[in-house]
Amino acid sequence: MFQRNDTVFMPLVLRLTGIPGLEPVQAWIGIPFCAMYVLALFGNSLLLVAIKSERSLHEPMCLFLAMLGATDVMLSTCILPKMLGIFWFHSPEIDFDACLFQMWLIHSFQCIESGVLLAMALDRYVAICDPLRHAAIFTPQLVTRIGVAVTLRAALLVAPCLILIKCRLKHYRTTVVSHSYCEHMAVVKLAAEDVRINKIYGLFVAFIVLGFDIIFITLSYIRIFVTVFSLPQREARLKAFNTCVAHICVFLEFYLLAFFSFFTHRFGFHIPPYVHILLSNLYLLTKQIRDRVSRIFYCEHVRIVGSLSKY
């Protein structure tokens, strides 16, 4: 690492600030984050064990829930240990390459989760709109291919973000990252060079992943609601509608916070940094809430498929 003209050339180490403006209370903030991590680890581990050991749960929705659970565990594990090291042990340093690797893991897992949520929406679409063909369409082989596809899509689309940073950006104004984990734009903003290509590619990935998934989730639910409101039995309509509302809340929670985090990094100059970073941390560390909601309504999903097959 060399320093010249107030810039740092190829830094070897970066410093994560945690939550700027809330440094005096970061140790207390770490307590609920740690508790959420332990709960997420315990709950998702139970989910994975239950689905693996119980053959009756080897159905598409359960397998998608298992994917979400595994993604949540890995995503939380990528973030929380280092975050607690900052909050509790005043250890903000992180190797530059380790920071890039953490960034790749975080954004890849986010893309994977978005793809799984899309798959869940399509599964619900087939289950409600064409229940008699649901088992024939969503076979275990198809579920496996979906899992592989969303993983490859995420890994391949996020990887160029790291390559562009590593190969294009050589000089940095500072080595202090104003965040509690390595986020793409938080690192790009440190550069003292032209970062337009990095920003453009980040926008491209966001819109090609989130935009694509949101469009098809929306279309799926439009078709679902058309089918639900055309059912002759009021009880069947209410059951299907209630389950759809629960899943829509899950999707909205994911995408609204994702877009808030994404746009405030680029355009939210008047938003206090601690607000943005707190919400980003909550967004990444509370995914077990979505999984729990999905698990609660899974039994209702099974009953709906059975009920709708009669009409």
The residue to which tokens 């900052």 are assigned: 86
**Least reliable range by pLDDT among 14-18, 141-145, 199-203, 230-234:** 230-234
Would you state the pLDDT for residue 86?
92
Nearest one of 18, 52, 8, 5 to 191, comparing CA atoms? 8
Q: Residue 156: pLDDT above 50?
A: yes
Give the model's confidence band at 195: pLDDT under 50 very low, under 70 low, under 90 confident, else very high: very high
Q: How far is CA 135 from CA 14, 60, 244, 248, in A?
A: 50, 9, 20, 23
Percent share of the chain, pLDDT over 70: 78
Give the model's confidence band at 85: pLDDT under 50 very low, under 70 low, under 90 confident, else very high: very high
**Across all residues in the chain, what is the average pLDDT?**
81
Give the model's confidence band at 302: pLDDT under 50 very low, under 70 low, under 90 confident, else very high: very low
Would you state the pLDDT for residue 58?
81
Would you state the pLDDT for residue 268?
52
pLDDT, average across residues 237-263 = 71
Q: Residue 90: pLDDT above 60?
A: yes
Q: Residue 105: pLDDT above 60?
A: yes
Q: Which CATH entry fits the domain spanning 8-307: 3.40.50.2000, 3.40.50.1820, 1.20.1070.10, 3.40.190.10?
A: 1.20.1070.10
Would you state the pLDDT for residue 26?
87
Buried b (16+ CB within 10 A) or exposed e, 81-115: ebbbbbbeeeebebebeebbebbbbbbbbbbbbbb
Q: How far is CA 139 from CA 52, 104, 135, 171, in A?
A: 17, 31, 6, 51
Nearest one of 56, 204, 207, 221 to 123, comparing CA atoms? 221
Q: Residue 13: pLDDT above 90?
A: yes
Would you state the pLDDT for residue 92?
92
Give the model's confidence band at 16: pLDDT under 50 very low, under 70 low, under 90 confident, else very high: very high
pLDDT, average across residues 15-19 = 89
Q: Cβ contacts of residue 219 below 8 Å, gap of 6+?
A: none
Would you state the pLDDT for residue 70?
87
